[in-house]
Amino acid sequence: MLLMPCSNWRWFFEPQHSRLAIDLGEMMFLTPYGEDCLIPDALQTMQFGTCHADFYNDVIRELSANLNLTEPQMVQVALNATAKAFFTLPTMPKSWHFQVSQSIVFSRKGKLCQLVNNQGESGLVLVVEADQDASVVMLLSQNLALSEYKQLECFQTIKVMNDRLSPLPAAASHRISAA
């Protein structure tokens, strides 16, 4: 059964791993987001609120409609996306790592797209934050090279101009990697 938000879920900063975490009642989930990228409020314990639950449920719906993922994978993606959307510091676009798309993609929260790096490799991404010009996306592919020396890893995020987002191929089969 799919893990659905409960009133006893709590966000907290887990000092042993220096990561934002969520207490899910009988288990704990560690996000990949460390103290250096978190807003000050993320270092305090707080309730998993209705806005978090709405965002989480929207991501779950989008994933189940468009990707063939297991329930644990969907939960992992949705919790990481929710943490990113609400608790991390803003970033500047780093679009130069990616090719301009040949198709127009209208970005919105929860949308699945792909990015194509300058070496022609593509990666599956989930839009976490969207505005008219740029979007923060979370990589769902195992990794994607940004340069000769730097890679974007699964569940890491990057902000890009919307003209870098490409539509998903119609018959694509996507896999994500558990962090």
Residues 132 and 153 in one domain: yes
Residue 56 sits in which domain range? 10-87
Residues 83 and 104 in one domain: no
Better-predicted residue by pLDDT, 39 or 2: 39
Residue 172 lies in a domain: no
Reported as a single tens digit per residue, the pLDDT across 63-102 is: 999 999 999 999 999 999 999 999 999 999 999 999 999 9
Residue 137 lies in a domain: yes
Of the candidates 88, 59, 52, 86, which has an alpha carbon nearest to the alpha carbon of residue 75? 59
Please state, as a whole number, how many other Cβ atoms lie within 10 Å of the Cβ of residue 129: 20
Q: Are 123 and 144 in contact (CB under 8 A)?
A: yes
Q: Are 145 and 119 in contact (CB under 8 A)?
A: yes
pTM, to two decimals: 0.90
Residues 104 and 83 in one domain: no
Residues 78 and 105 in one domain: no
Residues 77 and 114 in one domain: no
Provide the pLDDT for residue 8: 94
Tokens of 163: 């003209």
Residue 169 lies in a domain: no
From 87, 103, 119, give the residue that closes a domain: 87
Residue 160 lies in a domain: yes
From 61, 87, 113, give the residue that closes a domain: 87
Q: Are 125 and 115 in contact (CB under 8 A)?
A: yes
Reported as a single tens digit per residue, the pLDDT across 110-152 is: 999 999 999 999 999 999 999 999 999 999 999 999 999 999 9
From 62, 87, 112, give the residue that closes a domain: 87
**Mean pLDDT score of the chain, rounded to an integer?**
92
Q: Where residue 174 falls among pLDDT bands split at 50, 70, 90?
A: low
Residue 171 lies in a domain: no
Residues 37 and 104 in one domain: no
Count of the separate structural domains present in the chain: 2
Residues 102 and 124 in one domain: yes
Q: Are 129 and 85 in contact (CB under 8 A)?
A: yes
Provide the pLDDT for residue 79: 98
Residues 26 and 46 in one domain: yes
